[in-house]
Chain A
Amino acid sequence: MRSLLSVLVFLFIAVVQAVSSSGDRLLVILEDDAEKAGYSKFLGDLESRGFEITYETPKSESLSLFHLGERSYDHVLLLPTKSKGLGPNLTPNILLDFINANGNILLTLSSSTPAPTSIVSLLLELDIHLPPDRQGLVVDHFNYDTSSASETHDVLLLPSPGPLRPGLKDFFSPVSEDGNLLAFPHGMGQTLGQGALLSPILRAPATAYSYNPKEQSEVVDDLFAAGQQLSLVSTMQARNSARFTVVGSAEMLSDQWFDAKVKKLGEKSAVKTLNRAFAKQVSGWTFKEIGVLRVNWVEHHLNEEGMSNASNPKIYRIKNDVKYSISLSEYSWDKYIPFEVPESDALQLEFSMLSPFHRLQLTPQISSSDSTYSVAFTLPDQHGIFNFKVNYKRPFFSNIEEKHTVSVRHFAHDEWPRSFVISGAWPWMAGIGATVTGWLAFCAIWLYSAPSAAKKNQ
Chain B
Amino acid sequence: MAPKKSAAAASPAPVSTTAATTSSSSAKTSSNSSQQIDQVALNIVQHYQKNTPQRTKLLDLFMVFLVVVGGLQFAYCILAGNYPFNAFLSGFSATVGQFVLTASLRIQTTEANKSEFPAVSQERAFADYVVGSLILHFFCVNFIN
Q: Which residues of A contact B (CB under 8 A)?
A: 416, 418-419, 422, 424-425, 427-432, 434-436, 438-439, 442-443, 445-446, 449-450, 452-453, 456-458
Contact = CB atoms under 8 A, between A and B. Distances in A.
Across the A-B interface, give the 6 residue pairs with the lowest CB-CB distance, nearest first: A428-B91, A425-B87, A431-B91, A428-B87, A431-B73, A442-B62
Interface of B: 3-4, 7, 53-55, 58, 62, 65-66, 69-70, 72-73, 76, 80-81, 83-84, 86-88, 90-92, 94-95, 98, 102, 126, 130, 133, 137, 140-141, 144-145
Contacts of B130: 443
Nearest to A424: B83
A418 B145 contact: yes
Nearest to B140: A432
A434 B92 CA distance: 11
Contact of B55 (A424, A434, A439, A446): A446
Nearest to B81: A424
B73 A427 contact: yes
Nearest to B129: A443
B88 A435 contact: no
A442 B68 CA distance: 15
Given A422-B84, A428-B87, A446-B58, 20 more contacts: A418-B145, A419-B144, A422-B83, A424-B83, A425-B84, A427-B73, A427-B76, A428-B88, A430-B91, A431-B70, A432-B141, A432-B144, A435-B98, A438-B66, A439-B62, A442-B58, A449-B54, A449-B58, A453-B53, A458-B3
Given A416-B145, A431-B94, A449-B58, A457 B53 contact: yes
Contact of A434 (B3, B58, B69): B69
Given A428-B91, A432-B91, A456-B53, A439 B98 contact: yes
Contacts of B137: 432, 435-436, 439
28 contacts: A422-B83, A422-B87, A424-B80, A424-B81, A428-B73, A428-B76, A428-B91, A428-B92, A431-B91, A432-B90, A432-B91, A432-B141, A435-B95, A435-B98, A435-B140, A438-B66, A439-B62, A439-B133, A442-B62, A443-B130, A445-B58, A446-B55, A449-B54, A449-B55, A449-B58, A453-B55, A456-B54, A457-B4
Secondary structure dominating the interface of B: helix
A424 B85 CA distance: 10
A113 B126 CA distance: 109
A435 B95 CA distance: 6
Given A422-B84, A439-B98, A456-B53, A431 B145 contact: no
B86 A419 contact: yes
Contacts of A439: 62, 98, 133, 137
A429 B91 CA distance: 6
Contacts of B88: 428
Contacts of B81: 424
Contacts of B90: 428, 432
A458 B3 CA distance: 6
Nearest to A416: B145
B65 A438 contact: yes
Nearest to A441: B62
A431 B102 CA distance: 17
A435 B54 contact: no
A434 B91 CA distance: 10
A457 B95 contact: no
Contact of B72 (A422, A431, A456): A431
B88 to A, nearest CB: 5
A447 B84 CA distance: 37
Contacts of A427: 73, 76, 80, 91
A427 B90 CA distance: 11
